[in-house]
Homo-oligomer: A and B are copies of this chain.
Amino acid sequence: MAARKKTTKKTATKAAPSARKRTTESGRADGSTERLARTTLESIDEVAKDVYTQIESGRMPEISMPQRNLKNVKFDRKVGYFELAGNVKTRTLEVNSVKTFAQTVRLMALAKEMVASDDFATKREAYYVSKNWAEAKFNEQRESDTVLDDIEGMFAFKEITREHLRFVPEEHGGSVVGPLTVIDRDPETLEPIRSDCTAMGSGAYTVPSSVDHLGMETTASFVLAIETGGMFQRLNHHRYWRTANCILVEMGGVPTRATRRFVRRLSEDLKLPVFAFVDCDPYGICNIYRTLKVGSGQSAHVNARFCVPQAAYLGVTPQDIEDFGLHDATHPLLEVDVKRAKDALKNDPFFKAQPKWQAALKQMLKMGVRAEQQAFAKWGLNFVIEEYLPTKMKAAKSFLP
């Protein structure tokens, strides 16, 4: 869970002398995990002291946090991800908000405890912990989730995320295979643990819910981020990662925060190009790919860390439907698809800033159909490995942005 300076080394490997080996050091090596924990504890203290000082001086205490929605983000291609546009909401302690205020402070106290003891709570657990808070207990998890989001917003100004505060999601991240070794540490003994992602057989390495403390070593040339588990299985079974010398990441729909952060670190720390391989439909493009690349409106306060601005879109594109003769393996766009695409063209700062994407979405709307990545199976189960991916990879420079 360390936001530390990453080193990138280039050394020759024994196994593949021509392949470049890229490395980031594990968090333990430079004490950055401990440093981050210290910073987090200090920030919690600062916010708490601020509230305390306001009360002491006889004022109603206030806490501020950024608004979290697509209307409060801006997109600059040079920056590369959704940034907060600056709208702030303020919560003042008054009769109506006294319970929420108390809950906010108690959850901050829980965060402090967890950072100090290197523990964590799922969002569900955080809800249950409150059951011992008498009047301040949450009645529904929806309430505690909202307060957690607000807390993350408050700390976003200090570049501290929910993960740093030790609140983690229930679900784990995507699956990973390929020439990558992940260096974790045993939470108890602190011994380093090396997971070789070429040695998972027909299984895979699972991205944990926090990834900043991981070290990474690779000899891969690029990362392929895949929408569906089915396609991931096919490429893994046929060892596409070996043929193409790449790392395969299964996103499983819209990638979780941990998966986005994991891919971001492959992109930023290991300097690997990242290509997305998703369905050609408005959900695949406007939700899955857009969130991977520039983040989402709802998490605008943490997008700087949880997106992959260098990612490019390999496919499936509307033009691929023409070029690879997929017409009879498409499905008509539903009303919800059309609405989503039109909404993206009109309101999404990312698509508004990208003329190539505007053309592609308009082409899809004109064609009136969508195509899944499995549609290539029409030409044979392994057409995707033998024809589609090699053909596309030859023109990687012309991928949609």
Give complex CA distance A145, B119 in Å: 44
CB within 8 Å for A199 and B194 given contacts A128-B377, A230-B122 = yes
The B-contacting residues of A in range 193-219, CB under 8 angstroms, are 193-195, 199-210, 214
Question: Does B204 contact A172, Cβ atoms closer than 8 Å?
Answer: yes
Determine which of B131, B132, B210, B230 lies in contact with A124 in the assembled complex, contact meaning CB atoms within 8 Å. B230
Question: Does B203 contact A124, Cβ atoms closer than 8 Å?
Answer: no
Q: Which residues of B contact A185 (CB under 8 A)?
A: 201
Give complex CA distance A238, B182 in Å: 20
Q: Which residues of B contact A187 (CB under 8 A)?
A: 202, 237-239
Question: Does A228 contact B170, Cβ atoms closer than 8 Å?
Answer: yes
Determine which of B132, B228, B372 lies in contact with A378 in the assembled complex, contact meaning CB atoms within 8 Å. B132
A-B contact pairs, 12 of them (CB 8 A): A122-B230, A122-B234, A125-B234, A125-B377, A129-B381, A172-B203, A172-B229, A175-B206, A187-B237, A193-B199, A193-B200, A195-B203
The B-contacting residues of A in range 14-31, CB under 8 angstroms, are none
Flag A221-244 by CB within 8 Å of B: 1 or 0 each: 000000011100110011100100
Asked whether any CB of chain B lies closer than 8 Å to the CB of A281, the reply is: no
For the complex of A and B, 9 pairs with smallest distance between CB atoms: A184-B201, A122-B230, A202-B208, A128-B377, A125-B377, A131-B378, A170-B230, A193-B201, A131-B329
Flag A112-145 by CB within 8 Å of B: 1 or 0 each: 0010000111101111110110000100000000
* Least Cβ–Cβ distance between A387 and chain B, in angstroms: 15
Q: Which residues of B contact A203 (CB under 8 A)?
A: 172, 182, 184, 195, 205-208
Give complex CA distance A124, B374 in Å: 7
Asked whether any CB of chain B lies closer than 8 Å to the CB of A382, the reply is: yes
Determine which of B172, B193, B200 lies in contact with A195 in the assembled complex, contact meaning CB atoms within 8 Å. B200
Asked whether any CB of chain B lies closer than 8 Å to the CB of A186, the reply is: yes
Asked whether any CB of chain B lies closer than 8 Å to the CB of A375, the reply is: yes
A171 to B, closest residue via Cβ: B229
A197 to B, closest residue via Cβ: B203
Asked whether any CB of chain B lies closer than 8 Å to the CB of A160, the reply is: no
Give complex CA distance A396, B390 in Å: 56
* Least Cβ–Cβ distance between A257 and chain B, in angstroms: 14
Q: Which residues of B contact A377 (CB under 8 A)?
A: 121, 125-126, 128-129
Question: Does B209 contact A201, Cβ atoms closer than 8 Å?
Answer: no
Give complex CA distance A128, B328 in Å: 10
CB within 8 Å for A125 and B328 given contacts A201-B184, A208-B201 = no
Asked whether any CB of chain B lies closer than 8 Å to the CB of A323, the reply is: no
Determine which of B126, B209, B233, B381 lies in contact with A233 in the assembled complex, contact meaning CB atoms within 8 Å. B209
Besides the contacts A119-B237, A129-B381, A185-B201, what 16 more A-B pairs have beta carbons closer than 8 Å? A120-B234, A124-B372, A128-B329, A128-B372, A129-B380, A131-B329, A137-B328, A168-B233, A172-B175, A172-B233, A186-B201, A188-B239, A195-B199, A200-B205, A203-B205, A203-B207
